[in-house]
Amino acid sequence: MRVTVFDYGAGNLHSLLKALSVTGVESLVETDPVAAAAGDALILPGVGAFGPAAARLAPGRERLRQALDAGLPCLGICLGLQLLADESEEGAGQGLGLIEGRSTRLDARSLPQIGWNQLEAVTDVDVRTAELETAYYANSYAVRPANPGQVTAWSRHEGDRFPAAIRQGQVLGVQFHPEKSSWPGLAMIRSFLDNCR
């Protein structure tokens, strides 16, 4: 299978690409959002800010949305998860709107949230398969889905309980960085890809 990684131009994809290669899949970095829809699976990586990334996504937004609606498997990581939702408090522009809801700032004194946070109420098949219990985060915003039933794992930062993972069919968005969450994180990526083969 060939996995396409959409590059918003924000930089560092090293660890993600290496994580994909150790899971044994061929990956292609694509800066054109229309072309990004052409792989067997799409990865929306977690580097950058919402506004600029949404702007880079805009020319291919409809095409990508159609592909996701038609069943293209997609893993959204951190900002990538936020781009699956409608919009964000962080910046202007539209996400893909696949997940109904918007991103808001975490309600906490200590921001950004940087570090390893525990996952709770985990129902997601890939997170469970990987036995991923503590994951690495670097975020200030989180998606608040209109339908909390889509949330398949939660984390808590200070008093704010926020979605760690949101699932809709073949689309999985995670607020943490599996590619920075050591071997259980890699196992989660592997499980996700195995399940979309």
Partner 1 sequence: MITKRLIVCLDVLGGRVVKGTRFVDLRDQGDPADLAARYEVEGADEIVFLDIGASPEARATTLDLIRDTAERLFVPLTVGGGIRSAEDVGLALRAGADKVSVNTAAIEHPDLITLSADRFGAQCVVVSIDAARTDTGWKVFASGGQRPTDLDAIAWAERAVALGAGELLVTSIDRDGSRAGYDLDLTRRIARAVSVPVIASGGAGNAAHVVAAFTEGEASAALVAGILHDGQTTVRALKEAMMASGISTRRTW
Closest contact distance (angstroms) between CB of 12 and partner 1 is 5
The nearer residue to partner 1, 96 or 189, going by C-beta atoms, is 189
Structure tokens at 41: 């699976």
Residue 196 known to be catalytic: no
Confirm whether 177 is a catalytic residue.
Answer: yes
Q: Which spans of this chain sit near partner 1 (rule: CB under 8 A)? A: 11-12, 14-15, 18-19, 48-49, 109-118, 133-134, 136-140, 156-157, 179-183, 185-186
Q: How far is the CB of 131 from partner 1 (least distance, A)?
A: 11
Q: Which is nearer to partner 1, 57 or 119 (CB)?
A: 119
Running DSSP on this structure, what letter comes out for residue 156?
E
Point out the catalytic residue in the list 30, 87, 157, 177: 177
Residue nearer to partner 1 on the CB measure, 14 or 197 = 14
Catalytic residue selected from 78, 87, 90, 157:
78
User: How many Cα neighbours within 13 Å face the side chain of 152?
Assistant: 18
Q: Is the distance from CB of 158 to CB of 107 less than 8 angstroms? A: yes
Residue of 30, 87, 90, 179 with catalytic role: 179
In the sheet that holds 85-88, the strands lie side by side as: 85-88, 99-105, 141-145
Whether 179 is catalytic? yes
SS3 94: coil
User: Alpha-carbon distance 187 to 169, whole Å?
Assistant: 19
Please state, as a whole number, how many other Cβ atoms lie within 10 Å of the Cβ of residue 120: 12
Catalytic sites, residue numbers: 78, 177, 179
